[in-house]
Amino acid sequence: MEQDFLKHLFQQEFSKMVAVISNRFGLQHIELAEDIVSETFLLATETWQIKGVPANPNAWLYTVARQKTLAYFRRNKIFENKVIPEINANQELQDNPHELNFSQQNIKDSQLQMLFSICNPAIASEAQIGLALRILCGFGIDEIAEAFLSNKETINKRLFRAKEKLRTSQIQLTLPAENEIAERLDNVLHIIYLLFSEGYYSRTQNEILRKELCIEALRLGVMLTEYEKTNLPKTNALIALMCFHSSRFNARKSNEGELILYEDQDEYLWDTELIGKGIYFLDLSARGEELSTYHIQAKIAYHHSIKEDTAEKWEEILQLYNQLLIISYSPAVALNRTFALYKANGAAAALKEGKKLKLENNHFYFLLLGEIYKNIDKSKSKTYFEKSHALAKTPAERQVIQRKIDKLE
């Protein structure tokens, strides 16, 4: 219990403290900021084990981080020689150069700036996600390695290169200029969505870690709504989308860890509170002219939060998929669109269109064809399911497809 409390506290405080320290001394000192925070946590663990957790643990952490930061800079004379010349334009800093400001407002501002600095197109997108997990979400290296199904060395190298890039590209810890925010926000939203997907569709079996990834992505999204300039309709649309998806988190897996397809899910396991939040943010997202792909995806996800099958529902979904494909093509969306076509316009129309997709090495393609044939030609259905089974990538997927084959007979 105590262990959980500390882990949670440290994870939360890590991103805040690193953001504030980096904000004061520059992004090029980000590794130092990480070290100072890690040392602070170490001292906290040791001290609190003996004396117990103080009444205000956050304040304790901030005080120690302040002392450690100060000591470090004094010891290394970095402060006088390097940092002061860099920040001498800032009057407040000149007046009080050693003081770290851990006010709620400065923590929030620093975190938002950090979000924009990390989600920078100059850095490879996988590295952006890694950095976001470490710096913005306070995940440990082993957790990041597990989420990526990788190992600690690879992740460490990736993070090191990404920080190197932060330095060499001279990326500053500031918000983009007013006229650039909207464009840069697209990249930030994209990274948040990738973070979320990493959790939602991750290959790792660690359910707690996956859920945490989704929660963190949601938290970063909500953080963007607290600022007028980033609280745009598309931000709200992305949050709505993540809420609707998350609502099905507990229904997607059986107690034995088997994947449960949407149609077989018990809707009583859907999280109605998250669905409600999704509707709230979807409503906010509609207050504007813009129609982003997040809007369309969120609307589709909204329709899926109503289990009842009606022709109207599937017609709406079909039209949304048409819109989505017109904006940008992806094989997954093309397959989903064909499934909606099957539900809305019937098997004949869906087969005619489906066979044009020619996604011959995609197991979902054959799964779809098998599904459409299910009620009209069982032997063809079986042939397609078997093709899908042969191409499937994970044991969980093969299990689901096998069950479909068994059901046919």
Contact residues: another protein, CB under 8 A? 315, 318-319, 321-323, 325-326, 329, 331, 333-334, 337-338, 341, 345, 353, 356-358
Decide whether 300 or 400 has the Cβ nearer to another protein. 300
Residue 343 Cβ vs another protein, minimum distance, rounded to whole Å: 13
Q: How far apart, in whole angstroms, are the C-alpha atoms of residue 323 and residue 294?
A: 12
Decide whether 24 or 337 has the Cβ nearer to another protein. 337
Q: How many CA atoms lie within 13 A of 400 on its CB side?
A: 22
Decide whether 55 or 326 has the Cβ nearer to another protein. 326
Q: How far apart, in whole angstroms, are the C-alpha atoms of residue 137 and residue 241?
A: 20
Question: With contact defined as beta carbons under 8 Å apart, do 246 and 197 qualify?
Answer: no
Residue 310 Cβ vs another protein, minimum distance, rounded to whole Å: 16
Q: How far apart, in whole angstroms, are the C-alpha atoms of residue 376 and residue 372?
A: 8
Residue 306 Cβ vs another protein, minimum distance, rounded to whole Å: 21
Close Cβ partners of 270 (under 8 Å, ≥ 6 residues apart): 247, 248, 250, 251, 305
Question: With contact defined as beta carbons under 8 Å apart, do 31 and 62 qualify?
Answer: no
Exposure string of 1-38, with b = 16+ CB inside 10 Å and e = fewer, is eeeeebeebbbebbbbbbbbbbbbbbbbbbebbbebbe
Q: Which structure tokens are listed for 167?
A: 């330095």
Decide whether 201 or 329 has the Cβ nearer to another protein. 329
Residue 253 DSSP class: B
Residue 329 Cβ vs another protein, minimum distance, rounded to whole Å: 4
Residue 330 Cβ vs another protein, minimum distance, rounded to whole Å: 8
Question: With contact defined as beta carbons under 8 Å apart, do 128 and 118 qualify?
Answer: yes
Residue 315 Cβ vs another protein, minimum distance, rounded to whole Å: 8
Q: How far apart, in whole angstroms, are the C-alpha atoms of residue 308 and residue 343?
A: 13
Residue 367 Cβ vs another protein, minimum distance, rounded to whole Å: 16
Q: Which structure tokens are listed for 241?
A: 């989308």
Q: CA angle at residue 325 from 321 to 331, to 5 degrees?
A: 95
Question: 311: how many CB neighbours lie within 10 A of its CB?
Answer: 10
**Read out DSSP for 104-171?**
HHHHHHHHHHHHHHHS-TTS-HHHHHHHIIIIIT---HHHHHHHTT--HHHHHHHHHHHHHHHHHTT-
Decide whether 33 or 334 has the Cβ nearer to another protein. 334
Residue 339 Cβ vs another protein, minimum distance, rounded to whole Å: 11
Burial tier of 46 (Cβ tally within 10 Å: 0-12, 13-18, 19+)? exposed
Decide whether 192 or 347 has the Cβ nearer to another protein. 347
Decide whether 149 or 327 has the Cβ nearer to another protein. 327
> 68 to each of 38, 62, 72, 207, how far by Cα in Å?
11, 10, 6, 36
Decide whether 31 or 353 has the Cβ nearer to another protein. 353
Residue 320 Cβ vs another protein, minimum distance, rounded to whole Å: 10
Decide whether 186 or 315 has the Cβ nearer to another protein. 315
Decide whether 131 or 334 has the Cβ nearer to another protein. 334
Residue 267 Cβ vs another protein, minimum distance, rounded to whole Å: 28
